[in-house]
C-alpha cells in the first residue's frame, strides 16, 4: 500500500475521532432512551442482552474483519487478488454468521438461564437475526480500514448510531414492548451492509472465493478474534456478573455509570488509531529511541488532560443524571460506581493510546491474547469476590483495579516489544495523578460539595503538573508538536 503522508495521518485522526465520539454519544443515547422508556429493569435487560450479542459477534467472526486488513495491506491497490480476498472474507463471514447465529438461536434460552436472567432469552433470539449482517458489515469496514478510507468507517459508525437511536426513540414514543427494540439492530445492520457493499463494488472487482485464502484469513484472524472476544468479555464482565447475582435494575444503574466512564476512552482510542501506524513503521525501522520519545510525550500530555477531564465529569455527573433522567431519581445510584470507575479508567487511558502496537500491529497477535488473559483473570476474580456483597459498587471497584493491572501489563509488553522505557518522572506523574484523582472522586462520593473540591483539585493538579513539567520540559515542548499533528484539521 502507499506511503502514509502527514496530511493523510492528520485527516485520519479527525475521521477516527469523529467516528469514535459518535459511537460513544449514541451509545449513551441508547442508555438514556431505554432507561427513561422502560425503566431500570428494562435498561438492565437490554444491557445484558446486548453484551452477549457483542461478545458473540467477536467470537463468531474468528477475526476475519481484522485479518482482511492484514491481507489487503500486503497487496497493491490494483492487484487482482484483492477481489478474491474480499469475496472470500465476505463469504466466510456470512457462513460463520449463519452458523453461530443459528446455534445461538437454538440455545438462547440456555444462555439466558446460565446467566441467571431468563427474561433476556427473547431479546437474545432477535439479536441472532442481526448477527450475520453485523459480521458482514464488520468485514466490509475492515476492507475500508485496509485502504485507509477512514471517512467511510466514521460514517458507518455514525449511521449505525443514528439509525439505531432513531429506532429506539420511535419504539419508545410508540410504547412498543421492550424486546421489539432488538429488531432495530437487525434493520440498521441490513441497511449498513447494503450501503457498504455498493461502495465496495465501486472500489473493487470481486473475484472468486478461495479456500486457500480463507485458511490464510483464519490462521491469522483466529488469534485477533480470540483477543477481541476476550477484550469484549472483559469490558462487559461486570454487567454479566451483576446480572447473575443481582436484579436487572441494578444492572441498569451500573450500565449508566460504565457508559459515562468509558467516554474517557474516546480520546485515547482516536489517538491510538493515529499512533499505531507510526509505531509499526518505527518498529520496522528498529527506531526504538523514537518510539520511546513519542510515547513519553504522549503520556506527559495525556495524563494531565485525562485527570482534568475526569474531574470535570465527576463534577457534573449528578446534574447530568438529573437532566437525562428527570423522572427517575433512582438513577442517581450510578454516581458511586462512576466515582469508583474513574481512577482506573484515567490511568488505563494513558496506556491504551499505544493500542495494538506491541501485539497485532507488529504481527504478534498472541501477545494480545496473553495481555487480555491476565487482565480478564484479575477482573473475574475481583468481580466474583466483590459483586455478591457490594453490587454495582463492588463491580466498579473490581473493574477499576483490573484496569490498573491492565496498565501494568500493557506497559510490560511495550518495554518488551517496542523497547519503550518511560522515564521515571513520567511513571511518577501517572501514579500521582491517578492517586490524586482517586482521592478526589471518593470525596465526591461521600458528599463533599463540588464547589469546595474543584478549586483545590485544579490547584493540586496544576502544581503537580508544573513540578513534573520542569523535570521534563523538553518532552512537554516537543510534545506540543505531536499534539498539533494529531489535532490538525
58: Cβ contacts below 8 Å, ≥ 6 apart: 225, 228, 229, 231, 232
Q: Show the cell assigned to 423.
A: 522515564
Whether the predicted pLDDT of 368 surpasses 60: yes
Lowest mean pLDDT among 229-238, 413-422, 459-468: 459-468
Predicted confidence (pLDDT) per residue in 52-82, tens digit: 998 888 888 888 887 887 777 666 655 567 7
**How many helices and strands in the chain, by DSSP H and E?**
17, 0
Tell me, yes or no, whether 347 and 489 share the same domain. yes
For residues 415 and 357, is the Cβ–Cβ distance under 8 A?
no
Tell me, yes or no, whether 399 and 488 share the same domain. yes
pLDDT at 94: 93
Whether the predicted pLDDT of 153 surpasses 80: yes
> Burial code of 216-238, b = ≥16 C-beta within 10 A, e = fewer?
bbbebbbbbbbbbbbbbbbbbbb
Tell me, yes or no, whether 141 and 196 share the same domain. yes
Give me the mean pLDDT over the 213-241 stretch: 80
Pick from 264, 261, 247: nearest CA to 392? 247
Residue that finishes a domain, picked among 213, 228, 245: 245
**Considering the chain, what percentage of its residues have pLDDT values greater than 90?**
22
pLDDT at 480: 43
Averaged confidence pLDDT in the chain: 77
186: Cβ contacts below 8 Å, ≥ 6 apart: 126, 129, 130, 133
Tally the domains of the chain: 2
pLDDT at 485: 43
Decide which of 216 and 353 is more confident: 216
CA 189 – CA 160 distance, rounded (Å): 7
Tell me, yes or no, whether 420 and 393 share the same domain. yes
Tell me, yes or no, whether 30 and 177 share the same domain. yes
Provide the pLDDT confidence category of residue 151 given band limits of 50, 70 and 90: confident
What does the chain come to in residues?
489
Query: Which of 169-173, 307-311, 368-372, 459-463 is the most confident on average?
Result: 169-173
pLDDT at 486: 42
Residue that finishes a domain, picked among 245, 270, 294: 245
pTM, whole model, 2 decimals?
Answer: 0.76
pLDDT at 132: 94
Provide the pLDDT confidence category of residue 477 given band limits of 50, 70 and 90: very low
Decide which of 50 and 20 is more confident: 50
Tell me, yes or no, whether 214 and 282 share the same domain. no
**CA trace torsion 421, 426, 427, 429 (10° rounding):** -170
Query: Which of 1-15, 140-154, 269-283, 470-484 is the most confident on average?
Result: 140-154
The range of the structural domain enclosing residue 34 comes to 1-245
Whether the predicted pLDDT of 332 surpasses 90: no
Predicted confidence (pLDDT) per residue in 87-136, tens digit: 999 999 999 999 999 999 999 999 999 888 888 999 999 999 999 999 99
For residues 368 and 360, is the Cβ–Cβ distance under 8 A?
yes
Whether the predicted pLDDT of 342 surpasses 60: yes
Provide the pLDDT confidence category of residue 482 given band limits of 50, 70 and 90: very low
Provide the pLDDT confidence category of residue 167 given band limits of 50, 70 and 90: very high
Residue that finishes a domain, picked among 245, 260, 295: 245
Tell me, yes or no, whether 318 and 461 share the same domain. yes
Decide which of 292 and 196 is more confident: 196
Tell me, yes or no, whether 227 and 335 share the same domain. no
Amino acid at each position: 500500500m502507499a506511503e502514509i503522508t502527514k496530511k493523510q495521518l492528520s485527516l485520519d485522526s479527525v475521521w477516527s475521532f469523529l467516528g469514535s465520539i459518535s459511537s460513544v454519544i449514541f451509545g449513551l443515547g441508547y442508555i438514556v432512551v431505554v432507561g427513561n422508556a422502560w425503566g431500570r429493569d428494562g435498561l438492565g435487560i437490554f444491557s445484558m442482552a446486548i453484551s452477549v450479542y457483542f461478545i458473540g459477534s467477536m467470537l463468531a467472526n474468528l477475526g476475519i474483519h481484522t485479518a482482511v486488513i492484514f491481507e489487503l495491506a500486503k497487496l497493491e491497490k490494483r492487484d487482482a487478488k484483492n477481489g478474491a480476498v474480499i469475496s472470500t472474507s465476505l463469504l466466510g463471514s456470512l457462513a460463520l454468521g449463519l452458523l453461530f447465529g443459528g446455534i445461538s438461536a437454538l440455545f438462547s434460552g440456555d444462555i439466558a438461564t446460565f446467566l441467571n436472567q431468563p427474561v433476556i432469552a427473547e431479546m437474545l433470539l432477535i439479536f441472532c437475526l442481526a448477527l450475520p449482517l453485523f459480521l458482514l458489515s464488520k468485514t466490509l469496514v475492515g476492507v475500508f480500514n485496509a485502504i485507509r478510507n477512514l471517512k467511510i468507517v466514521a460514517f458507518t459508525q455514525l449511521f449505525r448510531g443514528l439509525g439505531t437511536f432513531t429506532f429506539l426513540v420511535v419504539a419508545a414514543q410508540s410504547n412498543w414492548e421492550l424486546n421489539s427494540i432488538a429488531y432495530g439492530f437487525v434493520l440498521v445492520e441490513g441497511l449498513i451492509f447494503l450501503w457498504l457493499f455498493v461502495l465496495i463494488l465501486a472500489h473493487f472487482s470481486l473475484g472468486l472465493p478461495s479456500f486457500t485464502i480463507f485458511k490464510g484469513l483464519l490462521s491469522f484472524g483466529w488469534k485477533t478474534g480470540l483477543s477481541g472476544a476476550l477484550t469484549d468479555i472483559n469490558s462487559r464482565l461486570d454487567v454479566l456478573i451483576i446480572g447473575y447475582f443481582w436484579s436487572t435494575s441494578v444492572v441498569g444503574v451500573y450500565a449508566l455509570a460504565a457508559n459515562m466512564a468509558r467516554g474517557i476512552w474516546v480520546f485515547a482510542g482516536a489517538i491510538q488509531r493515529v499512533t499505531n501506524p507510526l509505531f509499526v513503521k518505527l518498529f520496522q525501522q528498529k527506531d526504538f529511541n523514537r518510539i520511546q520519545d513519542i510515547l513519553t510525550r504522549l503520556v506527559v500530555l495525556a495524563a494531565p488532560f485525562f485527570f482534568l477531564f475526569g474531574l470535570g465529569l465527576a463534577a457534573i455527573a449528578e446534574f447530568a443524571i438529573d437532566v437525562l433522567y428527570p423522572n427517575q431519581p433512582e438513577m442517581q445510584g450510578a454516581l458511586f460506581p462512576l466515582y469508583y470507575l474513574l481512577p482506573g479508567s484515567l490511568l488505563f487511558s494513558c496506556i491504551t493510546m499505544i493500542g495494538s502496537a506491541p501485539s497485532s500491529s507488529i504481527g504478534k497477535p498472541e501477545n494480545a491474547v496473553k495481555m487480555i488473559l491476565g487482565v480478564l483473570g484479575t477482573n473475574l476474580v475481583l468481580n466474583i469476590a466483590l459483586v455478591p456483597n457490594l453490587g454495582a459498587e463492588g463491580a466498579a471497584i473490581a473493574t477499576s483495579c483490573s484496569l490498573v493491572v491492565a496498565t501494568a501489563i500493557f506497559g510490560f509488553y511495550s518495554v518488551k516489544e517496542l523497547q519503550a522505557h518511560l522515564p521515571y518522572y513520567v511513571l511518577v506523574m501517572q501514579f500521582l495523578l491517578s492517586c490524586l484523582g482517586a482521592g478526589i472522586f471518593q470525596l465526591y462520593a461521600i458528599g463533599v460539595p463540588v464547589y469546595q473540591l474543584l478549586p483545590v483539585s485544579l490547584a493540586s493538579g496544576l502544581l503537580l503538573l508544573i513540578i513534573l513539567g520542569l523535570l521534563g520540559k523538553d518532552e512537554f515542548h516537543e510534545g506540543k508538536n505531536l499534539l498539533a499533528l494529531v489535532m490538525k484539521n
